Amino acid sequence: MNLSEKAIKLGMKAVYSYLDRDPTANIPKILDWLLEHDIGKGVTKQVVAVKEAIADPNSNWSKLIKSLWTDIDAGQRKVLFENFVVNGSMIGTPIQTKVSEQYDCNVPWAILMDPTSACNLKCTGCWAAQYGNKMNLSFDELDNIINQGKAHGTYVYLYSGGEPLIRKDDIIKLCEKHNDCAFLAFTNGTLIDEEFAKEMLRVKNFVPCISVEGFEDATDFRRGKGTYQKIIRAMDILREHKLAFGISCCYTSKNVDVIGSEEYFDEMIKRGAKFAWFFTYMPIGADAVPELMVTPEQRKFMYHQIRKFRKEKPIFTLDFWNDGQFVGGCIAAGRAYIHINANGDIEPCAFVHYSDSNIREKTLLEAYQSPLFKAYRARQPFNDNMLRPCPVLDNYGRLAEMVEETGAKSTDLKCPENARDYCDKCKTAAEKWAPVADELWKEIDYKPITSGKLKPHKVM
């Protein structure tokens, strides 16, 4: 760690200590200080947005911030602040930018990886169900990925699968070894128990994001009978131990009315969720169910509901597709994140199962400079309308074009899928969404600058 990084760490520790003494009184003072000293105006817009959001002590944002002090263990709150904010952004982002400029490639803020393809559930339409326990990244491989990532300024690591908590012991060991990183897992939640909660509380740098499909009927329809009650028990355990957690919601043509309902949001907030990440169903692989794809009207419904609840509900929300406005379009291929599957294939996105690199054959930096990732970088954003960010779902044929141009291969070991076939399954959805998205885009006042490295934009 150089002197500049040490200074940042010491300074932010002092800031956090001051904040922690009286968050209600001191957050506005810290924001005023940032505004006064933001000579280059690099964060002024974001700080002003936060100030406006918390100006009313009864606003949803004020309530959410207050709940982080009343509901979350003090030790975990401090560690997550240091690892996400200080290491992940203040220290990590300048390193990412330097490496990106030096090698003319994207360098991700976060790396999503699959410890295993195994899962204890068989959810309808999920590609992981095809594989079973056939693929695994060893502890040493996971450790090596993190070591390489940190050298490039990446301090945030997410797990998916399969069910990542099948590898509970290794996940905890990685949290211990890399205590300067923040870890999150997209999990079905059914393997969270008292013992694991105590381990989470001990390491403090791990946060589960529990997959929920709505209420009991909708969740059990896709994930199996009894799953919802197991999820509720997991949430109860996490809340009792004052552990931070969020939810991951895949909205489909069958559950969108529930996922987007006020009753559902209120229930998840009551259960203790502090954030919610929304995805729309993608027809990946041989077992895909295209009928589960949402209609343009349903996607528009979610667009409006999530924005409405951002002004009303004490929960932080992200919509992987509909929030392209705030991040300048597609964030894949290292612009914000990459995906490494359980076979070691380095993919642009969790929803794009094509690759020309494998972690067992290339370094991360070599993968960032691979033809496929370079093709993404050259084309991002894929559309001037940031509500049409995706090269699969929103811009017909763009993925197939890149795959064919670079010679990337399908990473589906059981039933390799031609990229054109995958795009074809999304063609109608792309064509029908386009006019709807274009009308919505005309209504938006705030439009981001999209050139270069991903820059943060207000999400208030």
> Residues 224-279: pLDDT tens digits?
888 999 999 999 999 999 999 999 999 999 999 999 999 999 999 999 999 999 99
Q: Is 128 helix (H, G, I), strand (E, B) or coil?
A: helix
CA–CA separation, 266 vs 305, rounded Å? Answer: 13
Distance separating alpha carbons of residues 437 and 440, to the nearest angstrom:
5
d(CA 280, CA 290): 12
Homologous superfamily of domain range 104-444? Aldolase class I (3.20.20.70)
According to DSSP, the residues that pair with 247 across neighbouring strands are 210, 276
Contact predicate 353/417, CB 8 Å: yes
Q: Indicate the residue type of 435.
A: P
pLDDT tens-digit readout, 98-155: 999 999 999 999 999 999 999 887 776 565 555 556 799 999 999 999 999 999 999 9
Which pLDDT band, with edges at 50, 70 and 90, does 60 fall under?
very high
Q: Across-strand partners of 340? A: 113, 346
The residue among 63, 24, 15 whose CA lies nearest residue 274 is 63
**Arithmetic mean of pLDDT, 41-49:** 66
Pick from 358, 340, 361, 359: nearest CA to 349: 340
Q: Which of 161, 197, 174, 152 is nearest to 368 (CA)?
A: 152
Query: Which residues lie across from 206 on neighbouring strands?
Result: 183
For 82, which DSSP code?
A: I
Q: What per-residue confidence (pLDDT) applies to 459?
A: 39
Q: Are strands 337-340 and 110-113 parallel, antiparallel or unpaired?
A: parallel
- Contact between 90 and 34 under an 8 Å Cβ cutoff? The reply is no
| Greater model confidence, 10 or 161 | 161
Pairwise pLDDT comparison (286 vs 369), residue with the higher score:
369
pLDDT score, position 296: 98
User: Are the beta carbons of 95 and 78 closer than 8 angstroms?
Assistant: no
Question: Can you name the residues that pair with 322 across neighbouring β-strands?
Answer: none
Averaged pLDDT of the chain? 90
Look at residues 288, 259, 295 and name the one whose alpha carbon lies nearest to residue 276.
Answer: 259
Contacts of residue 387, Cβ cutoff 8 Å, sequence gap at least 6: 303, 322, 324, 325, 437, 440, 441
118: amino acid identity, one letter: A
Considering all CA atoms of the chain, what is the largest pairwise distance in Å, rounded to the nearest integer? 58
- For residues 21 and 406, the model is more confident at 406
Tokens of 364: 């991360």
pTM, two decimals, is: 0.92
Pairing type for strands 156-159 and 182-187 reads parallel
**How many CB atoms neighbour CB 407 within 10 A?**
9
In the chain, the amino acid numbered 173 is K
Residue 67's nearest CA partner among 313, 420, 428 is 313
Question: What residue spans define the domains of the chain?
Answer: 1-90, 104-444
Kindly report, residue by residue over 411-442, the tens digit of the pLDDT.
998 889 999 999 999 999 999 999 999 999 99
User: Which pLDDT score is estimated for 8?
Assistant: 75
d(CA 205, CA 78): 10
When pLDDT is averaged across residues 33-46 and rounded to a whole number, the result is 62
- By DSSP bridging, strand 110-113 and strand 206-211 are unpaired
